[in-house]
Structure 1
Amino acid sequence: MIGPWDRVEGSSHDDELDSGVEARIADPLWMLARQWQVGELRGDDAGSPAVARLNWTSIPLRSYRPGGGPDEPMPTSSSLERMVEATAPPTYGAGALYWATRLAGQISRRLVRQGLDDAVDLLRGGFPLADDGTTVALRGAGTTAAALARGRGFDGAAVFSDSTRTTAALAPLPAERREQVDAVITRWRADVSARFGIPAADAWDEHRLEYQFSLTAATTPDASDPDVVLTADKYTGGHLDWYSFDIDPGRQRADQPTATPAAANDEADRSVAVLPTPVRYSGMPAPRWWAFEDGDVHFGDIAADPGDLGRLLLADYATGYGNDWFSVPLRLPIATLTRVTGVHVFDTMGRRVEVPCAALLDDRKPGRRAFRLYELTGDTSVADGQAPLLFVPPSLSGSEVGPALDRVEFVRDEAANLVWAVERLVEGPTGRSVDRLQQWRTSTPPESPPESPPGSPSGSPPARVSPVGRRGGAAAADAWRYRIEAAAPPYWIPFLPLRTGNGAQIRLRRARMQDWQLLDPAVVGARSELLRTDRPMSIDEEEVPRGGITVQRRWQAARWTDGSMQVWLQRSKRPGTGERSSGLRWDGLDDHLTS
């Protein structure tokens, strides 16, 4: 016996959905069936939404903590990217030379405009630029620019940071002129600090080559409830958004400063009435089955496998439920955590409908909710019977990125069983990058030709020596060459594995090659700000995958909401391009004629 059917569904073995959305003309029964399938024969005693009232709560961000440093008040005049990514000006190599001369040029122009030329001479004598041997420059224009900067310029970075030394250098000036110079230098320091992002503490983790920081939001003005802590432990640079953060549940810092009373615009509850609008997109079909459509309607390639849930939902929404979805705008302040506490819709029939939170409806079986949208990891709001939090970070919509100043590629060399840091680009004395390979080639003298055999005429070509063991050739001692070691290029810096403590954790520590002592000191070793050699450096072994990583340093510029120009030095980490071979090998026997 065949029981009653709940519904009739068609089955197709074709992945194309075109035939299902085509309005083919057949008999009247077929037309009625199509209207019944899309729900046009079902009458609903409902009205269209007219007004929607939204209630929400905003929690402002209170403090920012870079890495393991102290808490800082959350600024309102800077973007979050600049606050996190900004690094201190370079203090090593050619980058430090260019930064010092750049600042020196700025303060010199300001003093000359005010007729204080004698102060420039005093600063030049009190802040000389010495050659520390770490400058990378190409022979010719590069070395000339470095020598000119040291001879004609002075250390403007020291003038900016060391006020005591600056006062001592300007002591020979008369009191009145010294006051004028101090006023010019004070304004210049304020302008440099406002324009360039110079952080008090660095959020860059040198062991993981990533940014680590956290933000704190005060839940109540009197700090009676635990604060919400947002952590970002794996930010690699670029753009910050809500998905870059996780909530650390149940964490409240004991060293937080006393909370200040919230402003009037930061109060807890807010409410607004808005007009709902239908959800539409370009090329969407008409909401009625037999309505005339214009030429903009385009289904495109909507082929979908049975498991392609996203396309199936889009096709179902566009054809069957296009007039059932409405959106309501809600303008939220930046740098806040927001929770929508209620949505009430008033329709044209005069009824009031409360729209429940979809996350709470999906969590009727706790712990089995699989679909989450715009929710922060670690948010326990749904488990507590509340709507989830929505984070609106004070981030940029876009920025202008300059060319790479430093570029270091961390690669794995399986043949040598090493990790190398390959310095491709290093900032030069003119503020532009210098190719280390080109610098090595231009600084290495060409190999001298082999000497002519004794008794041969002067200027005659050297005698050709046949290799040992080759038929028809005479045996010679220098036909084959034994190499104890085939060295890697001098700008390939090795990182050796080193165990930390008694566990199995391994860190890669920067090392030196023994053959560097036989080469020109100007071309060997690390010279970039990313691999500066004035301090030890080690990175976690798991941070260098098989494909490698690339770390860069460059300038960025952007406009903030108040129209101010913000400039900062940014470091970023990106995936590498695969394994490399450095050419390092030992105990090799080379053919002298073919090697």
Structure 2
Amino acid sequence: MIQLSDQIKQFSPDVLVKDYRISSITAYNRLEPRPRTENFNESLKAAVHDGLWFLTRQWQMGEFESEDAGSAIDARLITKQLHIDRMALQQNPAKIYSDEIPMEAQIEREQVPFSLALKIQVSQYFLSLHSSTLRSKYFAVYLTTYPLTEDNNPDFTTQENSKQLLRSTIKRSINGELLLADIFDGSFSSKVGIDVIDQPAIDTLINNLKNWYQRIYTQPENNSEKAWDGQKLSYGFTTAAPRADNTDLVLESPEYNSGNLDWYNFDVNLDQRELKVEQPDYEPNLTTESAI
């Protein structure tokens, strides 16, 4: 090693640079356009065919909120809307559709089973609506008329937690299932024996309870009217919107299962021009056209 290093020192610096320099490779690429036409007028115009799309993208990205914002000088739109006013679940007859309840809820809802917890929940809310005077006057009658009892359901008898819940609430709650049944068929006041002087206050309580229950638990009027198809594991339904020419725009969703309805869940049925509804109070919600 010493002899080799001594030999290297005898070389001049120029020789070392020449013999031990790092090699490099230089390459060039060139882009060559190959036009297929001689007229570029249309391309150079940079025409905008969907100005509304650009405006919505600017709004979506928040460009209108900046100081140097892009905004339209003048924008005029004419919109036409078709309103869905009928809906049929599976092969059931069509009924009037109201958007007061989301369409997903109307399609997916089922009868709510009255568990012990639900009976107590209805009971506690009903009693909370009472004034102290009404509660002290009628609570004993409620306990006698609508008593909480053990459920014969095996799911209840084998659950120690359910038994403990019953024992802790049996003297402070009533049977909410029996209570609602009498309220909806109109026999509550006669069974309990409400005094005439207390009837207006009790009617207010009953209406508040019914509104609360129907708002929390939306259920179909008829248990047989279901959109669920157990074989396909999906929901099936049909909707319709009236047109100005006395025809209907029929939209079908034979296999909806995503839990969130959107435009791509619907297919237009071009073969069906009408969705009949057997309700005398039906009035078509016709197309509306507005200018913005």
**TM-score in terms of structure 2 length:** 0.65
1:26 maps to 28
Q: Take 2:198 and 2:116, find their aligned partners in 1: how far apart are those partners?
A: 29
**Is it true that 1:63 corresponds to 2:86 in the alignment?**
yes
Corresponding residue for 1:88? 111
What is the identity percentage for the equivalent residue pairs of Structure 1 and Structure 2?
14
Q: Which amino acid aligns with 2:234?
A: E
Q: Is the 8 A contact 2:242 2:284 kept in 1?
A: no
Cα distance 1:47–1:103, how it changes in 2: closer, same or farther (>3 A)?
same
Does the 8 Å contact 2:123/2:173 carry over to 1? yes
Find the residue that maps to 1:65 and give its secondary structure. Answer: strand
Determine which of 169, 173, 177 is the counterpart of 1:157: 177
Match in the other structure for 2:148: 129
1:116–1:181 CA contact under 8 A, matched in 2: no
Tell me what 1:98 maps to.
Answer: 117
How do 1:233-248 residues align onto structure 2 when only pairs under 5 Å count?
233-236=254-257, 238-248=259-269
**For 1:179, which of 167, 176, 200 is the aligned residue?**
200
Write the mapping of 1:377-396 to structure 2, written as runs, cut at 5 A.
none
Decide whether the 8 Å contact of 1:87 with 1:198 is kept in 2: yes
Per-residue CA deviation, residues 344-395 of structure 1 (Å, 9 max, x unaligned), is xxxxxxxxxxxxxxxxxxxxxxxxxxxxxxxxxxxxxxxxxxxxxxxxxxxx
**Deviation (angstroms), 1:102:** 0.8
User: Secondary structure of 2:271's match?
Assistant: coil
> Which of 231, 234, 238 lines up with 1:210 in the alignment?
234
| Equivalent residue number for residue 66 of structure 2 | none
State the Cα deviation string for residues 439-496 of structure 1 (Å, max 9, x = none).
xxxxxxxxxxxxxxxxxxxxxxxxxxxxxxxxxxxxxxxxxxxxxxxxxxxxxxxxxx
**Shift in CA distance, 245/149, structure 1 to aligned 2, threshold 3 Å:** farther
SS at match of 1:116: helix
Q: Is the 8 A contact 1:111 1:120 kept in 2?
A: no
Distance in 1, Cα, partners of 2:284 & 2:163: 58
2:99 is the alignment partner of 1:76? yes
- The alpha-carbon distance between structure 1 residues 86 and 38, as it changes in their structure 2 partners (threshold 3 A), is farther
Query: 1:64 & 1:54 partners in 2: Cα distance?
Result: 30
- Give yes or no for the alignment of 1:46 onto 2:45: yes
The 2-side partners of 1:248 and 1:47 are apart by: 39
**1:205 positional shift:** 3.5
- Of structures 1 and 2, the one with the larger relative CO (CA 8 A, separation 6+) is 2
CA deviation after TM superposition for structure 1 residue 90, in Å: 0.7
Contact 2:241 2:250 in 1 (8 A): yes
2:8 aligned partner: none
Distance 1:237 1:153 in 2: 39
Distance 1:142 1:162, change over 3 A: closer
Shift of 1:61: 0.6
- In structure 2, the residue matched to 1:448 is none
Structure showing greater Rg: 2
SS at match of 1:117: helix
How far 1:197 moved relative to its partner?
1.6
Please report how far the alpha carbon of residue 218 of structure 1 lies from its aligned counterpart in structure 2 after TM superposition: 0.8
How much has 1:261 moved relative to structure 2? 5.8
Q: CA deviation at 1:151?
A: 5.1
Structure 1 partner of 2:253: 232
- The alpha-carbon deviation at position 149 of structure 1 amounts to 4.2
Distance of 2:92 and 2:217 partners within structure 1:
21
Letter in 2 for 1:175: V
CA–CA separation in structure 1 for the residues paired with 2:203 and 2:219: 22
Equivalent residue, structure 2, for 1:279: none
Could you tell me which residue of structure 2 aligns to residue 117 of structure 1? 136
- Matches of 2:207 and 2:159, distance apart in 1: 38
The 5 Å alignment of 1:520-531 reads none
TM-score where L is the length of structure 1: 0.34
Give the Cα–Cα distance (whole angstroms) in 1 for the partners of residues 163 and 251 of structure 2. 48
How far did 1:58 drift? 2.4
SS class of match (1:121): helix
Is the counterpart of residue 145 in structure 1 residue 165 in structure 2? yes
Q: How far apart are the structure 2 equivalents of 1:254 and 1:139? A: 49
CA shift, 1:271, in A, is: 5.5
Tell me the SS of whatever aligns to 1:233.
Answer: strand
Cα deviations by residue, 1:64-120 (Å, 9 ceiling, x for unpaired): 2233434332212222111211222214xxxx2221111001001111456433223
Q: Which amino acid aligns with 1:219?
A: R
Q: Is the 1:65–1:214 Cα contact (8 Å) retained in structure 2?
A: yes
Unaligned runs of 5+ in 1: 1-23, 273-595
Counterpart-to-counterpart distance in 2, 1:147 and 1:38 = 88
Separation (CA, whole Å) in 2 of partners of 1:245 and 1:106: 40
Name the CA shift for 1:43/1:141 in 2 (closer, same or farther; >3 Å): same
Shift of the alpha carbon at 1:42?
7.4
Deviation at 1:126, TM superposition (A): 1.0
Q: Secondary structure at the match of 2:203?
A: helix
Q: Is the 8 A contact 2:242 2:285 kept in 1?
A: no
Contact in 2 for aligned 1:54/1:271 (Cα 8 Å): yes
From the superposition, tell whether residues 61 and 139 of structure 1 become closer, same or farther in structure 2 (CA, over 3 Å): closer
Structure 1 distance, partners of 2:155, 2:236, is 31
* Post-superposition offset of 1:176: 1.0
Query: Hey, what does 2:19 align to over in structure 1?
Result: none
Query: What stretches of structure 2 of length at least 5 have no aligned partner?
Result: 1-25, 53-75
Counterpart pick for 2:243 among 219, 224, 230? 219
Q: Which amino acid aligns with 1:212?
A: G
Aligned residues: CA RMSD? 3.5
Q: 1:254 to 1:110 in 2, by over 3 A?
A: closer
